[in-house]
């Protein structure tokens, strides 16, 4: 039980030390969305387009994604 307690104690101290730097966001900024729906929709469309593309080799995937991100509006 000593090993488990030391792991818990170490995890607790790591969290307490990291807590002041963990959450940096501004709730009053209108450009920051309150949900991740936009991101989920964006990546859903990306996966749909990727799956519809027939014959894409594994070597061509990075190039496909680079062009997709380049031409897709933000």
Task: Dump pLDDT digits (tens) for 11-22.
Answer: 999 999 998 877
The per-residue pLDDT for 40 is 92
DSSP output for the chain: -HHHHHHHHHHHHHHHHHHHHH----TT-TTS-SSSHHHHHHHHHHHHHHHH-TT--GGGHHHHHHHHHHHS--
Q: How many domains does the chain have?
A: 1
Task: Dump pLDDT digits (tens) for 9-66.
Answer: 999 999 999 988 777 666 677 777 778 898 899 899 888 988 888 888 888 889 988 9
For residue 52, give its domain range.
2-71
pLDDT level of residue 1 (50, 70, 90 thresholds): low
Q: What is the pTM of this model?
A: 0.49
Please name which of 73, 53, 74 lies closest in space to residue 64, comparing C-alpha atoms: 53
């Amino acid at each position: 039980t000593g090993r488990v307690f030391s792991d818990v104690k170490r995890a607790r101290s790591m969290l307490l030390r990291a807590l002041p730097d963990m959450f940096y966001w501004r709730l009053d900024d209108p450009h920051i969305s309150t949900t991740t729906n936009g991101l989920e929709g964006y990546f859903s469309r990306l996966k749909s387009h990727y799956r519809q593309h027939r014959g894409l080799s594994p070597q061509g995937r990075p190039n496909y994604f680079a062009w997709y991100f380049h031409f897709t509006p933000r």
